[in-house]
Chain A
């Protein structure tokens, strides 16, 4: 018994062994080196950083008070912004739903369609809205159309991917039951799949509409319509009080969008 107690006292416990500790130190070291390298390499002009507080107060002073004279034009542009988001979201639905159908494991007609669907979704999502906008401004010229297409092309990936996942999560048993009645494929979809993905569909579309309103506010920076056009113009002409009005308007719009979407979500779900 006594010997046993001695053994117990000598026991040591370590969460990590020697090798694991070395690996952890190495990872820490590499991380620090990458951060150091990044900060050195990006060439920050430090005097400007230290001057930032002055610049902020000066800009604030120039912006204050916000200039309400252009309010009518701003409100018009705001409405245009919302239109871009709404139209783009609606158009997206028509493209995204078929794509999600072929990109879902359990509904895709064949391997080729599965990969085609996934390729469309990935390429849509890997390109930012602003990049899409630049592309469409180059093709269709500046204006609302380029903005709508840009938002749409980015949204296809978003709605398509989430709807595809919703389809993959359905209960297969009603599908089997509908097939057993002798229903055609279209009827099986209408009765066994559509009712099951309806709640997800509304939630996803409402969420994307909300995101699209925010995204369409910046489209104007590259000339693709909406409030961003006026914002860019005001910044270029140093009309800081007008810029302040626009920024406030954008915040208000996003808040209204948020309120509407949470209201809708409560209604449909």
Chain B
């Protein structure tokens, strides 16, 4: 077969990109080996060690530069719409605004691995210049991980069946070898546009959330690298400071990244909340929990030389879990259980990730076992009234919490085994939210209490009397506040009251601790992050406990849904409410009216105008009125149905939140209404289904020389039950040869169409043709919620993030008085 000479392909960027992929892989490998040799020769041959170190550094910098170059090459391909490349074709389109081009980048598997690798490269360079004696060891680890990540985008065929990695620079014609279009040399002229970005991802959250989340992922590598370095060197003092700093930053950024995902889900997806205990969310929460646990036991170790083994385990576990979460979300193993699991790359990625996880686990556990006997330990028992004791307990509770979430999330992973043993095909809980909530609420209560009480305890030995004095006082205030909130918010149920009490106490006591006892801002880090956590818990409790679905449907039939959870079933089943055009429906304290839709050429979405009016209950006066614009893509990309984005009204103390679940498809509506003739004089009224029109006067009488036509408008005012609702001005014209013409006008919100067809000089009346589409032909189905105090959730996240960063800054600025280490 002859090779086809394809026309118009730009192969250079792809070739360059692919070259940098291979180069970055080789350089990372080179750097890993060099740093490894630098470490090996450290003791007995410092000259050789220095040379290796130099090579290691330079190759890592070259690696980082080539990762950046891959980035630029791929960005060039996407931004220049080079659809000869599969990546550009699959993830972007010409009409996509500039601001979303970066989002295309990480919509795909390869791009997100690149993003991850990019952050590693940046962090690696910072570590290179700051880690001093631990440089060769930490950088060996970082470079090895970079080798693993670079291999993910290699796209290298070991044998025709075994592929290692998947390259983003693959040509479309290589991806779809059999497609007939590629038999033509000028196939590019036929491919007009790419597949485009999934409409759900076309918003600013998709631009912010992945980079922050991946930075969080990448940051967990650094404490892990220092942990391995410490084990490797068998020196457990020098790693403490950098690990504390990096794990604080990682805790802050990863936490922020996760909750940005939550905010995204809340703001622009239709999950009806910020957290659904979806496997993808859980998968990134679990390593955060173990990271935070490790961060705390490390503080214990620093202060008391206790808890070293568990600290090491926590950091190793955290990093393994990061890769495990990638495994869960990328390979499609979650399959049926997750709403937003990515599509799998197939078998090759599955095994590839397993190999990486296996490698991380084997290296770290071997090292840990080897050092286990020699790890410094303290034989005596810690005091019960000491900070370290309760911090340790708290960290352990976090571990148990992570364990529970992991077991439930990993059901699809272990269910084949369970089926083999028990014969049952285990599925995730029918109601995952209550499954996790009912267990994790106890964790939340314990952590809220411990995170506060531990601050009031001192390391080693505390004066118990003064501790209880302060605690009793704060607890008394907390109880009063709790009773107040519980009554106001109508919170019942022992676990909810306890969580409320614990989080209120934590908010109060952490604030008091920060302001009255720490005083200096730079020392407030821990208290502020704990305060943020407490606010988060409080926000979660109040916003979800009193989340109210206000769009409960009152039309239709109530169905019988089994007895056990009837109340819930009915609620669940009737959350969708139908709104006919201009027909107000009562929802909670609002009168909600659908006022029509609008489309523009610039935006593929349809916006629906939904008016919310709130009347005073006693005086019946309108006190507030606002419009929400939930939107939807109607039949996007040839799909059937609509893809909706919510819209919400934010108040300080609550959000009113709504999204469309169904709407009339304009392409499928048949116009059933017909025109009716009305002969009217000035001041006459024409009655409509939901209001009336008044013919007021003629307007703009005009004679045009060009056309030889006399034209005049009729001004019609439309009124509905509340008053004036708009104007229509249909045009009538007559030419010299008595040829009559008319131009229709419409009032969209009224769905009324008017034609002015005749003037009757005998009595001054005019003939109008009026058509009103039945409002029942135009409707939307929506869900509407009220989230009370949702802002407390966001505030909590921000405060917690600030606390983490403040802690890190304080540690960076602190001049460490170098303690004589046990093994110098």
A binds B: no
- Which A residues lie at the B interface, using CB under 8 A? none
